[in-house]
Homo-oligomer: A and B are copies of this chain.
Amino acid sequence: MAKRKQPGTDLEPVAGNGLLHRRMFLRGGAVAGVLGAAGLAQAEPLAVPEWVTKPGKRPQPYTQPSPFEQGVQRLLPDQNPLYEPGSASGRTPHQFLEGMVTPNGLHFEVTHNGVPEIDPARHMLVIHGLVKRPLKFTVDSLLRYPMTSRLHFIECAGNSASLYGSTAVKSSVQQLHGLLSGAEWTGVPLSVLLDEAGIDPKAKWVYAEGGDASSVTRSIPLAKCMDDVLVALYQNGERLRPNNGYPVRLLVPGFQGNMNIKWLRRLRLTEGPMQTRYETSRYSLLLADGKTAQFKLQLDAKSIITRPSPGYQMQGPGLYEISGLAWSGNGTVKQVEVSADGGKSWAVAALSGPVLPKMLTRFRAPWKWDGGPAVLQSRVTDDTGYVQPTRDALIAARGNKANYHYNGITTWNVANGGEVTHVYA
């Protein structure tokens, strides 16, 4: 009886247009001769560049990336994209990054009146409103409290918004989806501080206010605050950077980015939401009838392919690794599928663990590109069973006026010859 063939062992596709089994790369010898290495006629002597013969530089107190990587930067707006005084952003260059952690220097930001430079010795956080005992905290006093560390993504509600438009913007994954980052956050569970203040049973919401010149204010359900919200002080080990809320910000896992109030200075417990500017005229999902779906706060499951993506130089037919990010504001990534034929067929991608709730998950899939046209897509399913919708399905459900919470599938077209562009499919 013939031995049953394992899928993908012979570079046999598991889905259309060259997608291979996700475990193909783990099999011994599978990549021999199909990738970028060159045979070596003569091993010795190795080339001796000048850095092998001359002493290098002294260590620095705080290191920086290589000068050869200076093109890896956040994308800043040429103009004011939101047509409002002072609003600006810095977008994470996901086309150049790997793994699930965004380095602090490249974490995205959105600000509405610039980045304040706050003296931590003068910053205060106040908890008041429907509490038994109003409290004020210096930053030093917050640093005395018990802390928790967790890895979480933050995504702006307006990330990917251009995909609601009728024309596919020919731009990079950074421009389209760069208002998204992931980091390890350490801070005090907000529940500890609210318990200390003593919650009045009438309180159902928490109004949070930032201490910058735009004073972003949002109402957050008290139940969420008592669940997994952090008063964050550290980001990837070190104290928050100014553009990420130094000295103290809220971390509201899985909710719209703007609710993770930076430069946090006030938490006021209230009976109902405060209907602030940032939750009425802004950051509310516009529906087809001109009304808004207010307080849709969680970010639904979403995924993007970061490599190849627009700007990537395909180097001729052969084996490639498709790499991307998936996440869900409602839980944990369960599965990511990748298509090379515009969604006609799908291959299951490998996930790089640990797969964590409300955190970016890196996925990867091997792909044998034949040099011809291909249409790349990714689709995530989270542990609630929710499946990332197509762009058409999302727009059909929301109408044509929607502006936030775009989480439909993104499509990269690979042309004959290898140019990668953003298209609708």
> A51-76: which residues lie under 8 A (CB-CB) from chain B?
51-69, 72-74, 76
A299→B408 CA distance, assembly (Å):
46
**B98 pairs with A101, CB closer than 8 A:** no
A113→B319 CA distance, assembly (Å):
39
- Is A1 interfacial (CB-CB < 8 Å)? no
A103→B28 CA distance, assembly (Å):
34
Size of chain A's interface in residues, with CB distance under 8 A?
135
**B115 pairs with A59, CB closer than 8 A:** yes
CB distance from A368 to the nearest CB of B (A): 12
Instruction: Type the 1/0 row for A192-203, where 1 means its CB is closer than 8 Å to any CB of B.
Output: 110110100000
User: Could you say which residues of chain B place their CB within 8 Å of the CB of A33?
Assistant: 196
Contacts A135-B40, A145-B35; A65 near B236 (Cβ below 8 A): no
Choose one: B39, B54, B63; the contact of A243 (CB below 8 Å). B63
- Is A10 interfacial (CB-CB < 8 Å)? no
Q: Which of A88-96, A251-259, A338-346, A393-401 contacts B (4 or more CB under 8 A)?
A: A88-96
**Listed residue (A56, A69, A237) with the most chain B CB atoms within 10 angstroms of its CB:** A237
User: Could you say which residues of chain B place their CB within 8 Å of the CB of A107?
Assistant: 63
**A56 pairs with B114, CB closer than 8 A:** yes
User: Could you say which residues of chain B place their CB within 8 Å of the CB of A127?
Assistant: 40
Contacts A148-B352, A196-B29, A321-B144; A106 near B51 (Cβ below 8 A): no
**Listed residue (A151, A191, A366) with the most chain B CB atoms within 10 angstroms of its CB:** A151
**A66 pairs with B134, CB closer than 8 A:** no
A114→B39 CA distance, assembly (Å):
32
Residue of B nearest to A266 (CB): B46
Choose one: B61, B73, B114, B185; the contact of A61 (CB below 8 Å). B73
CB distance from A110 to the nearest CB of B (A): 9
- Is A233 interfacial (CB-CB < 8 Å)? yes
> A356-372: which residues lie under 8 A (CB-CB) from chain B?
356, 362, 364, 366
**B135 pairs with A62, CB closer than 8 A:** no
CB distance from A357 to the nearest CB of B (A): 10
> A309-340: which residues lie under 8 A (CB-CB) from chain B?
315, 319-321, 323
Contacts A31-B145, A186-B99, A265-B46; A126 near B59 (Cβ below 8 A): no
User: Could you say which residues of chain B place their CB within 8 Å of the CB of A234?
Assistant: 97-99
CB distance from A24 to the nearest CB of B (A): 8
20 inter-chain pairs at a CB distance below 8 angstroms, sorted by A residue, are A37-B141, A38-B135, A39-B134, A40-B126, A40-B133, A40-B135, A43-B126, A51-B118, A59-B76, A62-B105, A63-B244, A65-B239, A66-B240, A67-B117, A68-B119, A98-B147, A99-B185, A100-B237, A102-B236, A104-B104
Chain A interface residues toward B at CB < 8 A: 25-26, 28-33, 35-40, 43-44, 46-47, 49, 51-69, 72-74, 76, 86, 88-90, 96-107, 109, 111, 113-120, 122-124, 126-129, 133-138, 140-142, 144-151, 183-186, 189, 191-193, 195-196, 198, 211-213, 215, 233-244, 246-247, 263, 265-266, 315, 319-321, 323, 352, 354, 356, 362, 364, 366
Name the 4 nearest CB pairs between A and B, nearest first.
A36-B141, A56-B114, A25-B146, A51-B116
A40-B128, A66-B117, A96-B239 provided; 13 other pairs, C-beta below 8 A? A25-B192, A29-B195, A29-B196, A37-B136, A37-B141, A52-B213, A54-B213, A55-B213, A59-B243, A66-B247, A68-B120, A102-B236, A147-B323
